[in-house]
Structure 1
Amino acid sequence: MTPLLLIFTFVYHFEAGICEGLNNLYHRPGHDVTLPCGSGSSPHTCSSTTWFFNREPFPTIIEVAKGNVIQSSDRAARLRLNTDCSLLINSITAEDAGRYVCRQSGQSEARVYLNILTVSQSSHRDDEATLNCSLWRYKELSPCKKNSILWLDETGTKLVGEGDGYNVIQTKCVSVLTVKSQRGSNRRYTCQIVDEDNKVQIQADYTPVFTGGTDHLYIIIGSVVGVVVVVVVITAVLIKCRRRATATEGVQKATHTPDEAESSLTYVTVNHDHQRAPPKKKVKEENVTYSTIKTQEK
């Protein structure tokens, strides 16, 4: 057993020696991150600096060789080597999570593990929303322990298991929070990553957006009622305008112009037939025509 114990001791110290400065960094997408390379180097020694990156299940790739960023890298536009040989990554994404190794001639090797926290939402039904809190990390590290990803409501109360209007399930490094829609509320939830001592490493706030439910129904009903009211008002206005137009046409027809004076004359013919005149006296019959003339009022 002694030789085996000596071997394990040797490996442990050897690993500790070449991995001096091992770091666990926690960030969120969009941040600019600086990965340190050991205890620091002078500008002239960066010419021997090499940065390796590994994200499982993909093979290890070289991002920096002899102090220069490899331009063929997909991330070349977002990488830069600082004067202390640290590696700067601009606007990180979840795909940047993984293990970074800085190697320099004559210097101890430094490993940096970049962990990235993301929070997203998906809805299964109109009256509830599902929030996914994921920690993207290098799988070589120990898996996320139970309750290492915590959900808190806006009062700071921890949400564990199933409760009033919520349900929490953690699978490896992903924690899923399902919350019910509550009318008149706009609640905010916080996802935290904690270590073994319950020390918060990183956290993110999120306010779910509900696309349906009771509030959504009220909005639809209100919109329909509003449209109906508008249609009724427009119809009433059109009817009123139509009545006014009809009344105006009637008044115009009843009004006569001077040119119509001749057509306003009424002729009456009166025939006086004196049948009872004395037989010896002959009376001459005459036809008398009367006319009525309408004068235009001034």
Structure 2
Amino acid sequence: MARLELLLIFVLQFEGISGRVSFLYKRPGEEAVLSCTTESSSPPTCSMVMWLYNRDQPETLTEVRNGKVTERSARAARLSVNTDCSLVINTITAEDAGLYTCRQWEDTSTYLSVLTISPSPPDADPKRDGNVTLECSLFSISYRPWLENRIRWVDETGAELLGEGDGYRVLQQTDCVSFLTVKRQSGHNRKYTCQLVDKQKNVKIEADYPPDFIGEITDPTGVSPLSYVMWTVRVAGLILMIVITVLVIRNKWNTKPLEKDNNVNNGADVQYENVEARPAAARPQ
């Protein structure tokens, strides 16, 4: 009886949804492209396409009407429609999670879920000593009884973190939220990854902490690559200023003697030009 009731709720909540159903997983800040076509359907006419959005609310919002983004949509600035009528969502946030339906001759539905990972306190520096609590959350439409996904934590070697171990402790874990406390130590960079996996342990999406760990260049001196760049720029600027100063001083030094020579020559010319021949004095007889 309970299963029948759940099935009835599902049918009533999503009545009219048919055609292809897909699942899309994203991280905050990424771009999502939601398709409006199916393998059996013909290319849609975008001027007749509607995009509907619903997330645990009684009212279904119309994001796109007649192929154009609704101006009243709170996300209008981040939404656009491609030439194939697919819906593009830029700079995804957790609030964008939910059910999207492209309504045409045959409906196409996409369940968009957003995986986030955030430290507590929010301004925690991953390069300083101390404990940090990481919260990994999956934002999606709440009613999804057919999904059997779960969240798990793994370290930089890919080993799953369970219970309590060296430098970590799993505090709480459900299907959609998991908390992990880790101990940061200077000079010992470690990566913690939150993964969403299905029943077969296939990874659907994952997020790392710290997010910029991949590709980060470490230095035993503790100086970051950015510090090296800034130091190089400062030294280059100092050298340039020294060169300019030397050139200016040299130019002034070479100019002053020339001016003195010119003055001396001019004075000499004037002196010789003003000299007049005088008659010799007559000798006394």
Partner of 2:130: 127
Residue 162 of structure 1: how far off its partner (Å): 2.0
> Do residues 206 (structure 1) and 209 (structure 2) align?
yes
String of CA shifts for 1:9-65, please: whole Å, max 9, x gaps. xx99xx99952210100111111111011316536x222111110122463210011
Structure 1: any 5+ residue segments left out of the alignment? 210-298
Matched residue SS, 1:159: coil
Residue 172 of structure 1: how far off its partner (Å): 3.8
| Distance in 1 between residues matched to 2:96 and 2:211, nearest whole Å | 26
Percent of aligned pairs with the same amino acid: 51
Structure 2: any 5+ residue segments left out of the alignment? 213-285
Partner of 1:250: none
Give the alignment partner of residue 158 of structure 1, picking from 160, 172, 193: 160
| Distance in 2 between residues matched to 1:74 and 1:17, nearest whole Å | 25
String of CA shifts for 1:192-244, please: whole Å, max 9, x gaps. 110111000011111299xxxxxxxxxxxxxxxxxxxxxxxxxxxxxxxxxxx
| Distance in 2 between residues matched to 1:122 and 1:57, nearest whole Å | 30
Number of residue pairs aligned between Structure 1 and Structure 2: 196
Tell me the amino acid that sits aligned with residue 19 of structure 2.
E
Q: Is the 8 A contact 1:150 1:158 kept in 2?
A: yes
Alpha carbons of structure 1 residues 151 and 170: separation in structure 2 relative to 1, 3 Å: same
Give TM-score scaled by structure 2 length: 0.61
Q: Is the 8 A contact 1:50 1:102 kept in 2?
A: yes
RMSD of the TM alignment (CA)? Answer: 3.1
Task: Specify the structure having the higher radius of gyration (Cα).
Answer: 1
Partner of 1:289: none
Matched residue SS, 1:95: helix
Partner of 1:42: 43
Partner of 2:21: 22
Residue 183 of structure 1: how far off its partner (Å): 4.7
Tell me the amino acid that sits aligned with residue 180 of structure 1.
K
Partner of 1:109: 107
Give the alignment partner of residue 141 of structure 2, picking from 138, 142, 149: 138
| Distance in 2 between residues matched to 1:161 and 1:202, nearest whole Å | 22
| Distance in 1 between residues matched to 2:211 and 2:71, nearest whole Å | 40
Residue 145 of structure 1: how far off its partner (Å): 5.2
Q: Is the 8 A contact 1:130 1:179 kept in 2?
A: yes
String of CA shifts for 1:120-177, please: whole Å, max 9, x gaps. 000499731101111111112139758x211111122110122232111213401111
